A = this chain, B = another copy of it.
């Protein structure tokens, strides 16, 4: 157990020195660090295996940064929080809870979903979206009824695909994070806590 005073390592595998990393990986890291203000630990941890680093973030990019469909950035982060809670993944719940606060401007919702998503202050549309994401998360048999419930809240077949792929990708990510013992950067805990309109920091 670590005292909360000292800084935890990123995970249980060593992080290579930047000078030993392939150039494309350094480049991606610097771009992310510039945009976010710090480098999320998942980038450091995955750099232990460059080929898998590239595969992981290319896949992430293909499902998280596509522009089509009806899922907002906040919707996607909400799906990640809800499914990562089921797997009790510290990195993903804390990091994507922070991203949800940033994108949604709702400072309390991710915390509510972390405790009990069915009692969170969600719209019926969001509830339907999470219900489907969690059926995927639990590896339930998926039936036509699942699709019909989604449709009642305006989600078409392609939206269903998008929800499912995010939930499935984080089924993988949560397990990778458990394996690596990946821990969230300190910055994530406080990001976006102040309500919309109020200045943060």
Contacts and interface: CB of A to CB of B under 8 A. Distances in A.
Interface of A: 1-4, 8, 13, 48-49, 51-52, 54-56, 58-59, 61-63, 66, 85, 87-90, 93-94, 106-109, 111-112, 114-116, 118-124, 126-127, 136-137, 139-142, 157, 160-161, 164-165, 167-169, 171-176, 178-179, 181, 186, 189-190, 193-194
Closest 4 A/B residue pairs (Cβ): A172-B172, A168-B175, A55-B59, A88-B116
A136 B178 contact: yes
Contacts of A112: 90, 94
B121 A94 contact: no
Contacts of A161: 13, 48-49, 179
User: In the complex, which of the residues A1, A157, A171 has the most CB atoms of chain B within 10 Å of its own CB atom?
Assistant: A171
> What's the dominant secondary structure at chain A's contact region?
helix
A164 B173 CA distance: 11
